[in-house]
Structure formats: C-alpha cells, structure tokens
Structure 1
C-alpha cells in the first residue's frame, strides 16, 4: 500500500513526529540578561562612580536574569504528546 502526499502527490513519504510548540525553547531570559549586562557595562562607563565596566556587566547580567525569572511566564507543567504523522520527502509538508 502506497501513501501519497495530498499536496504534491509524491510517493516519497516517511513517518515523522510533527514538532510541537512545547519543543521550542524560551530564550527571553537569556536575551534580557544579555541586554541588562550591556546596560550595566555602559552605565558603569558613563557614570563616574569608579566601577569597572566588567563589574557593571556582571551586575547587569545578574539583575537581568533575576528579573527575567520573576516576570517570565510560567512553563506549562503538562507536556503534550508528540503527534505521529507523515512527512513528504519532496515538498516537506506534514500530513495525517
């Protein structure tokens, strides 16, 4: 029995697991820590307090990671089961 792709009528089809939204990683906390590190380093350069830009960057990264952890949306505890489906080897589209 051959399985045909409903999009391009190809017979080159393989079983696949369709990626779900829960498999995508959240990088907002890393980006907020990096942006706060940049802000901390630039502030320590401009404000004449005698603080090294290295320490300003480290302090900014710590503040950014703490604020990112506090204000980020909680991850859902329930994980969705992966969806078994087919993927066309020619057009790359998923179908059931």
Structure 2
C-alpha cells in the first residue's frame, strides 16, 4: 500500500471546491445599489417617524395605576379552577401511565 502525498494542485482544487460550496448567491439588495439606497432611506424615515410618534404619545400617556397585591379571585371560582386543573392533571397521568391503580 502506497501513501500519496498531497500536491499543491490538490490543495488548489480543494480550496476552489470549498470556495464554490461556501459561496452564497448575492441578495437583491447586494446586486442592485439603487434598491439598497432606497431601502436605507426607508429605514431612516421609519426610524424618524417612530421617534416623533413615541415622543408625542409618551407626553399624553400616563402609567396605569397598579394595586399590590392583586385581589385574589373569589373562593368558588378558584376552587373550580383548581378542581379542573387537578382533573386535567389526573387525566394526563392516566393517559401516560403514571397513575398507580391499587
């Protein structure tokens, strides 16, 4: 069995192959400078509009009044929610075989 030593030609072919494999196709924006410029101006205009809108709305809005701690739900409602959650939990445990029937 003979061992082949890679030559410079092999390395060149390998690098060309890798370059082709790793190359991506340019996007439309990269291909067309006019589209890139138009998109850039659109983004700048959008940013300016967002800044002017946020400054005008922030002066009009007031933060909501929060009360802490929040009031708990009524007893009957919380009991029925807890009962439904427990029934759902038991149903799932039964379906996946975790409930032990004794």
TM over 0.5: no
Q: Provide TM-score, normalisation by structure 2.
A: 0.28
Higher relative strand content? 1
Q: Which has the higher contact order (CA 8 A, sep 6+)?
A: 1
TM-score, with length taken from structure 1: 0.29
Report the structure, 1 or 2, having the larger helix content: 2
